[in-house]
Amino acid sequence: MKKIIITMLSIIFISTNISFAYSPDPTVDKFVSDLELIKNDLTILTKAMMGLENKTNEQINEIKKDIDSTSSEVNYSIARVNNLYKASNDPILRKQYSAISNTLSSYSFALDSLLLYLNDSNDLNQFLDAVYEIRTGNNSLNDIKESFSRKK
């Protein structure tokens, strides 16, 4: 009976150690959390842009402030991830940083397109480009999270 209990406990401890051995770097995990917040901001911005022709100048200025704020977050994150990429020698971390950078680039492109659409609401292609890039960034973020869950 003791051997069975010891064997079961050993298996549990080994399994626990294996599942934690592949947890993402805390920095990468923080970036993923930041990306989730940016994703939510972009969703709200996209909804706010609907029916732009019916918005007052005050509402449009508020949307521009929100775009500027989110753009600042994205640019700051891009600078941080690029510095971490350059400083890292670990190929796994560099790959994760590249994936994060790719997602941030998609979000940055989307924000630029939203700003262009705000300046010319007749250019619907800018809005469509923004929505496409947001979707691309969201897919990239989902791939990053999926790769973490596969390693656990």
pLDDT at position 18: 38
Higher pLDDT, 65 or 50: 65
Integer Cα distance of 65 and 54 in angstroms = 18
In a domain, 45, yes or no: yes
- pLDDT value for 39: 96
Whole-angstrom distance, CA of residue 63 vs CA of residue 70:
11
Q: Is residue 8 part of a domain?
A: no
Q: What is the pLDDT of residues 15-64, one digit of tens each?
A: 433 333 344 578 888 999 999 999 999 999 999 988 888 889 999 999 99
Arithmetic mean of pLDDT over the chain: 85
Which residues, 6+ apart, have CB-to-CB distance to 118 below 8 Å?
Answer: 49, 52, 60, 63, 64, 67
Quote the CA–CA distance of 45 and 25 in Å, as a whole number.
Answer: 30
CA distance 105 to 122: 25
Per-residue CA distances from 63 to 15, 44, 96, 111, 123 (Å): 49, 10, 32, 11, 17
Structural contact between residues 23 and 152, judged by C-beta atoms closer than 8 angstroms: yes
Instruction: Kindly report whether the global pTM for this prediction surpasses the value 0.75.
Output: yes
Average pLDDT over residues 67-80: 97
Provide the CATH number for the domain around residue 35.
Answer: 1.20.120
Residue-range definition of the domain harbouring residue 58: 24-151
Is residue 112 assigned to a domain? yes
State residue 54's pLDDT score. Answer: 86
Q: Is residue 5 part of a domain?
A: no
Number of domains in the chain: 1
- What's the pLDDT at 24? 58
Report the percentage of the chain scoring pLDDT > 90: 65
Is residue 103 within 8 A of residue 144, CB to CB? The reply is: yes
Tell me what percent of the residues of the chain surpass a pLDDT of 70: 82
Q: Is residue 9 situated within a structural domain?
A: no
Ranges 17-26, 61-70, 76-85, 115-124: which has the least confidence:
17-26
